[in-house]
């Protein structure tokens, strides 16, 4: 199947008892057994639930994996990956990444003996310099949040080939429509399914997809034993969202490019971070590993003043000032006070996450309305 067909039909089947086209919401915690230990594959919903199983099968299909897992949030998915490691293990992580991931790595797992090295992976040599016998995982985020850096996944995979090092990719900003890290050699792909997979700002969820059976068994054990599962109602919502992922992403990409071009030509805007622009430093890598460039756009002001960013965010009307991204509606975000506030100010400054930085999640509204809103807010 081609991708647009897989989102609707891939690993998805009518419900066998009634022929229901849409997977029912199995709102149950437990399942009847005909004899002790004899059942129909379901015992207790922390372990398995038919609605969640249908979602997990769909996730595996659209990421070209063999095993999918659904979690209560993207951070719950990330947490489960970290639990497969041992004290003393070292992880090389992208320096520019979601603030919640940075917070988890530095404030939770660091005190349990995991050691993290944050490097700019747009230069694979920076990764190579940190690899040693204790390195057990590379954590990639591409495109990055919020500076829209692009990491060459295949180049990083080549660095660890033949070594006992897992490569995990946070694919949230791209979605499976734009990028499939497993096809590029990664071992684990993670999503905050809250974002593009759900697509309607009505669910919080996470996902992991892998190909390796042994790794899948480890992750399933951590999910079952740790209990960070996704409930049936939320599983249904993400499964519904996946069915329109392809058509939504087409419009996100169209609108994102036009918003980036508009901002690039605006006299009050200094920098625009969007991998679809030819002047983006990682544009060629993005062209190589992504099918299009998405709907996330970040920019700064020529004044370099926080006040101008705040005024803009208070003035937008079609864009909504809110956290999160990837929904059908356009959102605007101020990373230093919102999504990345947990990153120390000196670290943000080092990365270039300045107080005048604004992150846009460009939705699927009419582009003329979006551009008019940006014009009036910047004016």
> Among all residues, which ones are annotated catalytic?
46, 98, 170, 195
Strand-pair partners of 360? 297, 332
Torsion of CA 153, 74, 323, 233, to 10 degrees: 130
Residue where the block lists tokens 């309305």: 369
Sheet order of strands, 166-170 included: 67-71, 206-210, 188-192, 166-170, 135-141, 90-94, 115-119
CA distance 222 to 214: 13
CA distance 65 to 67: 6
Cβ burial, residue 345 (10 Å; 0-12/13-18/19+): exposed
DSSP assignment of 91-109 equals EEEESS--HHHHHHIIIII
């Amino acid at each position: 199947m081609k991708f647009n067909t897989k989102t609707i039909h891939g690993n998805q089947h009518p419900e066998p008892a009634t022929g229901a086209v849409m997977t029912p919401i199995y709102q149950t915690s437990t399942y009847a057994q005909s004899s002790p230990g004899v059942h129909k594959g379901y015992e207790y919903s922390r372990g398995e639930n038919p609605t969640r199983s249908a979602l997990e099968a769909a996730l595996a299909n659209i990421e070209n994996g063999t095993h999918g897992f659904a979690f209560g949030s993207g951070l719950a998915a990330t947490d489960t990956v970290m639990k497969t490691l041992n004290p003393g293990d070292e992880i090389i992580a992208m320096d520019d990444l979601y603030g919640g991931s940075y917070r988890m790595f530095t404030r939770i797992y660091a005190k349990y003996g995991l050691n993290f090295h944050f490097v700019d992976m747009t230069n694979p040599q920076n990764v190579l310099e940190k690899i040693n016998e204790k390195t057990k995982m590379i954590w990639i985020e591409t495109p990055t949040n919020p500076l829209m850096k692009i990491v060459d996944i295949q180049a990083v995979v080549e660095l660890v080939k033949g070594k006992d090092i897992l490569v995990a990719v946070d694919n949230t900003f791209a979605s499976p429509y734009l990028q499939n890290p497993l096809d590029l050699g990664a071992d684990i792909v993670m999503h905050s399914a809250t974002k593009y997979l759900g697509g309607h700002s009505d669910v919080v969820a996470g996902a992991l997809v892998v190909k390796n059976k042994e790794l899948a068994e480890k992750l399933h054990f951590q999910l079952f034993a740790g209990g960070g599962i996704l409930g049936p109602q939320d599983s249904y919502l993400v499964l519904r969202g996946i069915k329109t992922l392809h058509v939504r992403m087409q419009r996100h990409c169209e609108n994102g490019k036009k918003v980036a071009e508009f901002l690039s030509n605006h006299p009050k805007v200094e920098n625009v971070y969007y991998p679809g622009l030819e002047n983006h430093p990682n544009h060629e890598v993005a062209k190589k590993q992504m099918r299009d460039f998405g709907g996330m756009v970040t920019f700064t002001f020529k004044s370099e003043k926080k006040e101008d960013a705040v005024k803009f965010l208070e003035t937008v009307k079609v864009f909504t000032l809110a956290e999160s991204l990837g929904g059908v509606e356009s959102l605007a975000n101020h990373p230093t006070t919102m999504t990345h506030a947990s990153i120390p100010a000196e670290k943000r400054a080092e990365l270039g996450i300045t107080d005048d930085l604004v992150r846009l999640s460009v939705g699927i509204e009419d582009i003329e309305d979006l551009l008019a809103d940006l014009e009036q807010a910047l004016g």
